[in-house]
Amino acid sequence: MLYRVAVLSLCLTALSAYAGTTPKAAAADYPAHTRLDTLAIGAEYTVHSFSGDHTTFIADDYLVVEVALYPDKGECVTVEPNDFSLRINGKRQMLAQAPEFVAPSLQNTDWQQPAPQAEDPDHPSPAQALLRAALPQGEVPNPVSGFLFFPYHGKTKSIRELELHYDGPAGKATIPLREAVISRTPERETLVPLRPGLR
């Protein structure tokens, strides 16, 4: 019992300053999810957008994925953005970028006032909102979630398949975020998304 308390205390003190988002009840509540021996992972592809403090932001130069991790009871998992990568159309693979480098590309779609000099909890700047919503880093004993940002300058309509890859302390996993099949007719071939609602 004392060992578990010590482990949990170490995990909590090692957690980064990023607040992240509020995890859903279970990994299965996300559109994409998978299970490792001691860790469940949920994910949702949000194209270029992320939300924070009741505001929507756009990162045109990034593909955005909300990721949630659910360590088993009594387990402590180390969370690092570099444990995640995106593979596009089975070829191109990109690592998540640190939140600090994403801020210059952000656009605030709801709040058009100039960013305040001091942090305003009611009207956060894009950079402030990003740091709050980014996936926390460090060792965690409880479910944690947040956004990851992957640099991308192409057109999203050209993305036919999108996979999130995890390669970290808990193991390796591939999570399909966007899948497609080719529907053939005598006249033409049509790309049919398996997951409706994604751009």
pTM of the model: 0.77
d(CA 4, CA 9): 9
Q: Which amino acid is at 38?
A: T
* DSSP secondary structure string for all residues of 170-198: TEEEEEEEE-EEEEE-SS-EEEEESSTT-
How far is it, in rounded angstroms, from Cα 178 to Cα 162? 5
d(CA 18, CA 3): 27
* Residue 135's pLDDT band (cuts 50, 70, 90): very high
**Three-class DSSP category at 124:** coil
Q: What pLDDT, in 10s, does the model give residues 88-101?
A: 999 878 999 988 88
pLDDT digits (tens, 9 = 90+) for 148-190: 999 999 999 999 999 999 999 999 999 999 864 433 333 333 3
| Pairing label, strands 84-88, 92-95 | antiparallel
**Mean pLDDT, residues 102-110:** 63
Q: Under a CB-based contact definition with an 8 Å cutoff, are residues 80 and 148 in contact? A: no
Q: Please give the distance of CA 17 from its chain centroid, rounded to a whole number.
A: 17
In sequence order, the 6+-apart residues with CB closer than 8 A to the CB of 82 are 95, 96
Q: Tell me the three state secondary structure of residue 63.
A: strand
| Cβ neighbours of 181 (radius 10 Å) | 12
What distance in Å separates the CA atoms of residue 32 and residue 138, rounded to the nearest whole number?
Answer: 23
All structural domains of the chain with their residue ranges: 2-193
